[in-house]
Amino acid sequence: MKGLPGKREIFGSGSESESWPSWKRPAAWLAWLLLLVLIPFDAVRAEARIWIDRDRLALDETLTLTIETDVAGLSSLPDPYLMGRDFRTLDHRTSQETQIINGQVRMKLTMVFTLQPLHEGEIVIPTYDFGGARNETLRVTVLPPRATPAAQVDARQEGRAVFLETQVDTRTPYVQQTVGYSVKLYYLPATLLDGALKQDPPEGANLQQLGEDREYSQSIGGRTYRVAERRFLLVPDRAGKLVVPGARFEGRSVGGLFGDFFGDMRSDTQLSSTPLTLQVKPLPATAQQPWLPLRGLRMRYLEAPQSARVGEAAKVVVEVVAEGASAAQLPSLELRAEGDAQVLAEPVQTHERFVDGRPQVIATRTFSVIPGRVGRLQVRAPRLNWWDADADTARVSALQDLQWQVLAGANIGPAIGAQTSEDTPPRSGLPTWLPRGPWLWIGIVLVALWLAALTWGWRLWSLRGARASRSTTISSEKSAGGSAPAPVDGHALKRALASGDLGLIARSLCMLAQPPVSDLDALRRRLADPEQRAAIEALQQARWGGGDPVAARAALRKAFAQGPRWLAPQAAAVNRLPPLYPS
């Protein structure tokens, strides 16, 4: 429920990834560009859907218009603000999503508008151009403002910001008749923080929620309330008195003007509606079986051909609209053909919704009739027996039977699977998934650039490895020669001399040797420069013999300005004794 953060259901070892080397980045970008170019955008057909959450509403209510389309081939964005003569746009939200499906890039754009009608009557929502395809025309019936219930009048007089309302479409249903039961939570914007709505099922009846919760706005007494509506299908199991428990709401609300800034201004909100009492009537003595109590029934052909041919399927589509019923209560729709014909029926498609607080189900079924011989064919339409709950009488609804004159089948031309010269596409020698036209040449150029970038990156990588190997060889040769000083890091010694800490200076000097030595005496024995040995001696006197620390630091800074100079390593002593075990 929007506006109530915190609870959406108001009712009711990894390893670090390494960064890519700099030489790989151009190749990666070119690879992504190549992928985007080779993906056939032109193969994606623009698809679009536009729908509304309801087609009947009162003048003081709102509806939600949703537009969902593919960006491919979209010349311009639909502008619902053009409906300013019929609707006022209260809210507008837009989201975008990119998908790659079967090698095709699909960018989906979703726009949601909250609209409030400006006048009563029938309003036609215009069609929009979605890349050459146009949506079906939508019609909305706007009724007069709803009469304000007594509960809302009391709540407004008391100045309440949150209140509940429950409604049923009839108080005297029949056994097994589907009753529309709705629970509405009214609240002023920015008053509720979170909460949950609960509805206990009654004894002696089946209670089932229909669809998702709906949200809209409604004006009551000059104040605009947000309404969260939950709808149920209530089916009594037995005759007699039926009590529907009241709905309950538990949540947190803002207790004052500064409730958003001070936690102590928030308060717990608990509401409950008044239980409803229904008087359930038993089955009438003249009721037909199967028992189907309804408030109304309409049937029509959505598609019905006037003739047919032998061996060819003739498509027949039947639609049934039942008021005050659920999809499970409707009997199966059947179409029968008298004579040499075969009838193939597809599964029934149903859609349940609420219209003026009353449940309504729309059932659609498609039949394929295949005649077997030439001549006259009669197709029997579906017939439904039902009980009119408002007039307390039995009724029969049926469509007119279809009378066809079956003609001979059309001559079969080329063999199945064969192609004519006109239908055969020209052979280009290229795979069918490759793009045509300028995209192909752009893709070839990007492939060449991508290969060049890979070659260039590989050469840079090889040169860097060769330089590293050459520097390692030179270091090894210098270490073996003994006369060249080993590379050292003099920054640590400089920082130690700048700090004035004699102990830190001594440790930094010991770290100059490779491997490091344990004390300054061992370091002095390895140095070849008399000046550096004298500086080490001055440091020892400053630390332990009362010498001048400033002079010692100056002597060390001067002596080690060019780095330490080490004694040449002594050659290993030659063993002149004969071996103990001659070979």
The CATH number of the domain holding residue 108 is: 2.60.40
By DSSP bridging, strand 308-309 and strand 383-388 are unpaired
- pLDDT-derived band at 249 (thresholds 50, 70, 90) equals very high
**Rounded average pLDDT over 461-467:** 67
Task: Give the CA distances from residue 27 to residues 21, 30, 40, 78, in Å, rounded to whole numbers and listed in that order.
Answer: 11, 5, 22, 39
Q: Are residues 156 and 251 in the same domain?
A: yes
Q: Is residue 512 assigned to a domain?
A: yes
- pLDDT-derived band at 359 (thresholds 50, 70, 90) equals very high
pLDDT at residue 328 greater than cutoff 70: yes
Q: Is residue 242 assigned to a domain?
A: yes
AA identity, residue 16: E
Which of 280, 305, 331 terminates a domain? The answer is 280
Is pTM, for the whole model, over 0.75? no
Q: Are residues 159 and 273 in the same domain?
A: yes
Task: Compute the chain's Rg from CA coordinates.
Answer: 44
Q: Are residues 96 and 217 in the same domain?
A: no
Inter-residue contact 388 to 395 (CB < 8 Å): yes
pLDDT at residue 578 greater than cutoff 80: no
Predicted pLDDT of residue 40: 46
Q: Is residue 461 assigned to a domain?
A: no
Secondary structure element (H or E) that encloses residue 125, with its range: strand 121-125
Inter-residue contact 235 to 205 (CB < 8 Å): yes
Task: Give the CA distances from residue 355 to residues 63, 145, 325, in Å, rounded to whole numbers and listed in that order.
Answer: 13, 15, 12
Predicted pLDDT of residue 54: 78
Predicted pLDDT of residue 131: 55
Q: Is residue 546 assigned to a domain?
A: yes
How remote is the C-alpha of 189 from its chain's centroid? Answer: 26
Give alpha helix (H) positions in 370-411: none
Predicted pLDDT of residue 570: 59
Q: How many domains does the chain have?
A: 4
Predicted pLDDT of residue 472: 47
Predicted pLDDT of residue 30: 52
- pLDDT-derived band at 301 (thresholds 50, 70, 90) equals very high
Residues 6+ apart with CB under 8 A from 523: 509, 510, 512, 513, 517, 536
d(CA 312, CA 257) in angstroms, rounded, equals 73
Q: Are residues 180 and 132 in the same domain?
A: no
**Rounded average pLDDT over 441-451:** 83
Is the pLDDT higher at 202 or at 159? 202
Could you list the residue range(s) of the whole structural domain that residue 315 is in?
Answer: 293-407
pLDDT at residue 11 greater than cutoff 50: no
Q: Are residues 246 and 317 in the same domain?
A: no
Which of 407, 424, 440 terminates a domain? The answer is 407
- pLDDT-derived band at 200 (thresholds 50, 70, 90) equals very high
Inter-residue contact 387 to 283 (CB < 8 Å): no
Predicted pLDDT of residue 64: 84
Residues 6+ apart with CB under 8 A from 447: 34
Share of the chain above pLDDT 70, in %: 71
Q: Are residues 375 and 391 in the same domain?
A: yes
Which of 230, 245, 280 terminates a domain? The answer is 280
Q: Is residue 580 assigned to a domain?
A: no
Q: Is residue 101 assigned to a domain?
A: yes
Predicted pLDDT of residue 522: 87
Q: Is residue 347 assigned to a domain?
A: yes
Q: Are residues 136 and 177 in the same domain?
A: no
Q: Is residue 476 assigned to a domain?
A: no
The two tokens of residue 56 are 């009947």
Q: Are residues 73 and 135 in the same domain?
A: yes
